[in-house]
Amino acid sequence: MNVSYQLLTSSARGAIAVVRIRGQGAVDLVDRVFRPNRGRPLGSTPEGRLRLGRAGLGIGDEVVAVRLAGSVPSVEIQCHGGPAAVDAVMSALKQAGAIEETTADSTVEAQALDDLARAPTLRSAAILLDQANGALSAAIHRILESIQHRAEPGPDLDALIRRGNVGMRLLTGWRVAIVGRPNVGKSRLFNALAGYDRSIVDPTPGATRDVVTIRTAFGGWPVELSDTAGDREDVDPVERIGIDLARQERREADLVLLVLDRSEPLDEVDHRLLKDLQGALVVANKSDRPPAWVRQGREAIDVSAETGEGIDHLVRVIESRLVPDPPTSGEAVPFRREQVEAIREAREAISMGDPGTAARRLSSLNPSAARSN
Ligand SMILES: Nc1nc2c(ncn2[C@@H]2O[C@H](COP(=O)(O)OP(=O)(O)OP(=O)(O)O)[C@@H](O)[C@H]2O)c(=O)[nH]1
Ligand SMILES: [Mg+2]
């Protein structure tokens, strides 16, 4: 017996999932897993006729099973799309002796479709759709051709690697951390950017003691935004933990918003943060009040988290800091870490004068056959 099974639908959560079982003995194997609500087993049901029943260990899931026509015996099981239901059906098939077909050989297009189902924003989805339609495959084929014709593929590989920085974040998003000394309005700004009151705002310095995180989007780019404890010395142990967490958060962030209070003179903590966080985007909050200092040197975005003034502008600046040069429609964008790593290795091989290795590495990405465009 050589029966395999494969999840045909996306591994992301959906309403319905479809599992295909095929190979000699597939129907017998499914009959050990599938319990029809009434009547005879699936093996004595004609091809193409839908049967309602249950499948899976324990009570299992309510499913539809159907024998498919074709030279290789095949069955399709449609179950509910939640991870537990899919897992129940697939585990039962495995226990009955079927082997899972790996998706390691799936094409770039199939991977893009799979990720598309998980895209958190329309902008992410549009880029993944371009790859599902063949943009990345076509670019890889062009590079393979230029290697074949002994042309220099370096710049094209470099362009793809740069695009990978955006591509790899299409699902997970970018991390943006709000930091600054206590009471400058970090939590108020966080809430203004989030669009609702998620974080506690309070005139007492040290109000925020933990890292508060939400998922949102700026200009269509998915973002994990975090509000952190105000940074200062000489504090109690709990606030200390919060401050340490804040420092960790800003080390891991793709972009740090350093919030200053425009209505109060800058103190030594502000100066230290300005010095330590050279790459941070400086936000001068409380612009609704008379200013207590003037900007020197470093660019700062004036906002009032209280009135909302300047927030739209800040969002546009954040967007352009995260992705200064967004991919255009139809452009090739590698979207998985393995893809970017393979392209990097191909680039290194080219630099070492080894086009053969570069071509093998690129082909291993499994681009679908080249299209005419
Ligand atoms: N006038 C004015 N007041 C603001 C503004 N933003 C925040 N505040 C006030 O400043 C105080 C502190 O605000 P928070 O957002 O809690 O400050 P924080 O930086 O999160 O403070 P910690 O959590 O203690 O570090 C509150 O009383 C807010 O109402 C603003 O833009 N204008
Ligand atoms: Mg706070």
For the stretch 328-346, pLDDT in tens is 999 999 999 999 999 999 9
The more confidently predicted of residues 294 and 266 is: 266
Query: Closest ligand 1 atom, CA of 181?
Result: 25
Last residue of a domain, one of 100, 122, 140: 100
Average pLDDT over residues 37-65: 93
Taking CA atoms only, the protein residue closest to ligand 1 atom 27 is: 203
CATH of the domain at 315: 3.40.50.300
Q: Is the pLDDT of residue 90 over 50?
A: yes
- Cβ atoms of 55 and 79 within 8 Å: the answer is yes
Statement to judge: residues 232 and 188 lie in one domain: yes
One domain for residues 183 and 82: no
DSSP-derived 3-state class of residue 217: strand
Does any domain span residue 280? yes
CATH number of the domain at 46, please: 3.30.1360.120
Q: What is the CA radius of gyration of the chain?
A: 27
DSSP code per residue over 132-201 = HTTHHHHHHHHHHHHHHTT---HHHHHHHHHHHHHHTTTTT-EEEEEE-STTSSHHHHHHHHHTS--S--
Atom of ligand 1 nearest to the CA of 190: 15
Closest atom of ligand 1 to 289 CA is 1
> Do the domain assignments include residue 58?
yes
State pLDDT tens for residues 116-163: 988 999 999 999 999 999 999 999 999 999 999 988 999 999 999 999
Q: What is the mean pLDDT of residues 66-84?
A: 91
What's the number of domains the chain is made of?
A: 3
Beta bridge partners of residue 259, listed in sequence order: 283
Long-range contacts of 202-207 (CB under 8 A, 24+ apart): 205/230, 205/232, 206/182, 206/230, 206/232, 206/235, 206/239, 207/182, 207/183
Residues 43 and 142 both lie in one domain: no
Q: Is residue 368 part of a domain?
A: no
In a domain, 192, yes or no: yes
Same domain, 257 and 309: yes
CB atoms within 10 A of CB 46: 7
CA 201 – ligand 2 centroid, Å: 6
- Nearest-CA neighbor of 164 among 349, 345, 371, 357? 345
Mean pLDDT calculated for residue range 72-86: 92
| Residue 65 CB–ligand 1 contact under 6 Å | no
Residue 13 has pLDDT above 80, yes or no: no
Nearest CA to ligand 1 atom 2: 286
Same domain, yes or no: 40 and 63:
yes
Whether 219 and 112 map to the same domain: the answer is: no
Atom 8 (ligand 1): residue with closest C-alpha?
A: 185
Where is average pLDDT lowest: 17-21, 181-185, 365-369?
365-369
SS3 128: helix
pLDDT at 102 over 70: no
Q: Is the pLDDT of residue 371 over 50?
A: no
In this structure, are 228 and 298 located in the same domain?
A: yes
Across the range 93-97, mean pLDDT stands at 95
Terminal Cα-to-Cα distance of the chain (whole angstroms): 44
Whether residues 62 and 148 fall in one domain: no
Chain Cα centroid distance, residue 197: 25
Mutate to test the pocket of ligand 1, among 187, 287, 301, 314 (most ligand atoms within 8 A of CB): 187
Does the pLDDT of residue 12 top 80, yes or no?
Answer: no
Query: Which span out of 224-238, 285-299, 306-320 was modeled with the highest average pLDDT?
Result: 306-320
Q: Is 216 in the pocket of ligand 1 (CB under 6 A)?
A: no
Return the residue matching tokens 């991390």. Answer: 175
Ligand 1, atom nearest to 287 Cα: 31
The reply to whether 168 falls in a domain is no
Task: Report the pLDDT value the prediction gives residue 220, as an integer from 0 to 100.
Answer: 94
Task: Compute the distance from residue 187 Cα to the ligand 2 centre, in Å.
Answer: 4
d(CA 341, CA 160): 11
Asked if residue 11 is part of any domain, the answer here is yes
For residue 372, pLDDT over 50 is answered with no
Are 199 and 191 in contact, with CB atoms under 8 Å apart?
A: yes
pLDDT 10s digits, 176-198 = 999 999 999 999 999 999 988 88
CA 260 to chain centre: 31
CA distance 175 to 286: 24
Quick one: 49 and 22 in the same domain? yes
Amino acid residing at 35: R
Give me the DSSP letters along 10-44: -SS--SEEEEEEESTTHHHHHHTTEEESSSS-GGG
For residue 349, pLDDT over 70 is answered with yes
Q: Are residues 298 and 180 in the same domain?
A: yes
Q: Which domain, by its residues, includes 32?
A: 4-100
Q: What percent of the chain has pLDDT over 70?
A: 97
pTM for the model: 0.76
The predicted pLDDT at position 373 comes to 42
Q: How confident is the model at residue 258 (pLDDT cuts 50, 70, 90)?
A: very high
* Same domain? 313 vs 194: yes
215 shares its domain with 292: yes
Considering 67, 82, 100, which residue would you say is the last residue of a domain?
Answer: 100
Residue 311 lies in a domain: yes
Mean pLDDT score, 247-252: 86
User: What is the CA(227)–ligand 2 centre distance, in A?
Assistant: 7
> 62 vs 27, 55, 173, 328, CA distance in Å?
18, 7, 36, 44
203 lines ligand 1 (CB under 6 A): yes
| Average pLDDT value over all residues in the chain | 91
Q: What is the model's pLDDT at position 99?
A: 93
